[in-house]
Structure 1
Amino acid sequence: MDKPPIHPYIPIIIGVITVSLSAIFVKLTSADSGVTAFYRMLFSVLVLAPAFFYRHRHELKLMQKRDWFFSAIAGVFLAFHFILWFESLNYTSVASSTVLVTLQPLFAFAGTYFFFKERLSVKTLLSGAIAIAGSVLISWGDFRVSGQAFYGDILALIACALITGYLLFGQDVRQRLTLVTYTFVVYAISTVTLFIYVIVKGESFGPYPVSDWFWFALLAILPNLFGHSLFNWALRWVSTNVISIAILFEPVGASILAYFIFSEKLIATQVAGGLVVLAGILLFVVDGKKIRKLFLADKG
């Protein structure tokens, strides 16, 4: 295997920071959730367009009806994931919202069990039970604080389920398309979905302050394209488990940023529930047999 130009942990750390900024950027905008999601996806499509049309547009001819159908569903799911997650940030804290969205791996194993008939191990069931207990603890604490916070938690959970559906439908299509083509097609469908949603809801496409356009652009460039691209780059030299564990620090980074930027303080149930959720997911993604080699995985 060739030697990486820089240590893989450096881009992984940068990737976690950029992904953690997503919730912060959303809260800094003054636009409605649908509008914020629309511009995030639109700008992402515009950034991807040159690479797609220059090198990958021929792949559209190779797409079958099944590919278009699954891509369409994935795009719609992604659109409503952003709508509901962004909306949840209007009701609950950054900490609660990002921790609950981190439950994505558990929704994924449920989806693969029902749709792909994959067997569930005892470790998987145990990790799921632990993480669900943590999410209940967070929601119970938020419910005691206010009904609005609990409502925001429910929106975040539904958003988590939708992003898992987006990944499950994309899993099949990605076997036949390059990452650039698949991402461009799904992001474009998601953008059209959000455009229709904004019109139906009667939300305004503008005008907005210059600062909002700045946050819209950063949402597209940093968490959407830059963050996940760094994870994909690092996968050449590190295990997938390393990335999975690194992403678990997103709620931590987002909560710290929210404390300093919005003065959001954590209550005991959020801290306890968040730690329980992260422990459950950590148990799920770590292979006990390979834990000693976790950071030395040879992919060659």
Structure 2
Amino acid sequence: MKKALLQIHLAVLLWGFTGVLGRAITLTAPVLVWYRMLMTAIFMAGILYYRKQWQPIKRRDLGQLALIGCLMGIHWVAFYGAIKFANASIALVCLSTASIFTSLLDPLVNKSRYDYKELLIGAMALAGVYLIYRFQEFYGLGILFGVIAAILSSVFTVLNKRIANKYPARLMVFYEMGTGWLLITLLLPLQLYYQPQTAILPTNMDWIWLVVLSLCCTVWAQSLALNALKHISSFTATLSVNLEPVYGILLAFVFFNKKD
């Protein structure tokens, strides 16, 4: 249990960098996610091959991993959209509302009782986002994207919990990233059609940040989180993620000063 909590908190610390990196990378949200998922899948495939951890997956489980990967891809597009339309700090605070959605969804999926303490904690996070909207209405679109990202985060966390004990974390990350990348590949032409000026190729600095984002904030962080989910509840994992805004806001202040 202690090891699992340490793993999830280390994952959250790594995820805290995603907001900063999302702001630093010049690509639009869908293009950024396309590169992130592709590079993560490639890195993870290399690790699985080197460690000889490939193993067959049941068709039903593969379908669930594919669904999780697609939800994760859309979640990241929404999250980076929130960063682009608002800023890293607001996007991360909006993401903390995932706890209320998890407290509502987890009992339905896993057939457990509702915990009113969990509902209260989640409602407090939601109230905090409402207050931000009241005083920062010009960030309305960014806040909307942030809440959508939070909802999707709670859904794929609960679904990951159901399958976490069946397969190695790295194998799950590979299939989730691979299927999510396929979905973004299918959707990306829509942005290129409506926004033909969209930059597709990263700059030299973008490549560096994308490698850091893929290796540290995705390959390592996702593996840690999935290993932790084998021993802790979905709500505990989501509640731990509420610390992500703390790390992210501090990092955003360091890198972008008072702007974020």
Q: TM-score range by the shorter chain?
A: 0.7 to 0.9
- The one-character-per-residue Cα deviations of 1:249-283 (angstroms, maximum 9, x if unpaired) are 321221122223223357xxxxxxxxxxxxxxxxx
Per mean C-alpha deviation after superposition, the further-off stretch among 120-129 and 154-163 is 120-129
Per mean C-alpha deviation after superposition, the further-off stretch among 125-134 and 200-209 is 200-209
User: Deviation at 1:49?
Assistant: 0.3
Structure-2 residue corresponding to 1:155: 145
- The one-character-per-residue Cα deviations of 1:140-186 (angstroms, maximum 9, x if unpaired) are 2221xx1xx01101110001111222222333333432222221111
Structure-1 residue corresponding to 2:36: 40
Structure-2 residue corresponding to 1:18: 14
Identify which of 103, 109, 117 aligns with 1:109.
103
Identify which of 156, 176, 183 aligns with 1:166.
156
Larger Rg over CA atoms:
1
Structure 2: how far apart are the matches of 1:181 and 1:262?
A: 36
When the two structures are aligned, how many residues end up with a matched partner? 252
Structure-1 residue corresponding to 2:53: 56
Give structure 2 stretches of 5+ with no counterpart: none
Residue identity in the other structure for 2:109: F
TM norm structure 1: 0.73
Structure-1 residue corresponding to 2:207: 213
Structure-1 residue corresponding to 2:135: 141
Structure 2: how far apart are the matches of 1:188 and 1:105?
A: 27
- The one-character-per-residue Cα deviations of 1:115-149 (angstroms, maximum 9, x if unpaired) are 33422133223223322222211222221xx1xx0
Does the Cα contact within 8 Å between 1:93 and 1:264 map onto a contact in 2?
no
- The one-character-per-residue Cα deviations of 1:98-126 (angstroms, maximum 9, x if unpaired) are 01112222211211233334221332232
Residue identity in the other structure for 1:196: L
For residues 74 and 233 of structure 1, do their structure 2 counterparts lie closer, same or farther at Cα, with a shift above 3 Å needed?
Answer: closer
Does the Cα contact within 8 Å between 2:94 and 2:146 map onto a contact in 1?
yes
- The one-character-per-residue Cα deviations of 1:25-63 (angstroms, maximum 9, x if unpaired) are 111111111110111111111111023345233323xx1
Structure 1: how far apart are the matches of 2:62 and 2:72?
A: 15
Identity level (%): 19
Does the Cα contact within 8 Å between 1:100 and 1:156 map onto a contact in 2?
yes
Does the Cα contact within 8 Å between 1:59 and 1:177 map onto a contact in 2?
no
Report SS of the residue matched to 2:125.
Answer: helix
Structure-1 residue corresponding to 2:248: 254
For residues 246 and 121 of structure 1, do their structure 2 counterparts lie closer, same or farther at Cα, with a shift above 3 Å needed?
Answer: closer
Does the Cα contact within 8 Å between 2:70 and 2:183 map onto a contact in 1?
yes
User: Deviation at 1:13?
Assistant: 7.2
Report SS of the residue matched to 2:167.
Answer: coil
Structure 1: how far apart are the matches of 2:103 and 2:209?
A: 34
For residues 106 and 12 of structure 1, do their structure 2 counterparts lie closer, same or farther at Cα, with a shift above 3 Å needed?
Answer: closer
- The one-character-per-residue Cα deviations of 1:64-123 (angstroms, maximum 9, x if unpaired) are 3x2122222111110100001101111212221101112222211211233334221332
Structure-2 residue corresponding to 1:201: 191
Structure-2 residue corresponding to 1:291: none
Identify which of 162, 165, 176 aligns with 2:166.
176
Structure 2: how far apart are the matches of 1:13 and 1:114?
A: 26
CA RMSD of aligned residues (A): 3.1
Per mean C-alpha deviation after superposition, the further-off stretch among 100-109 and 29-38 is 100-109
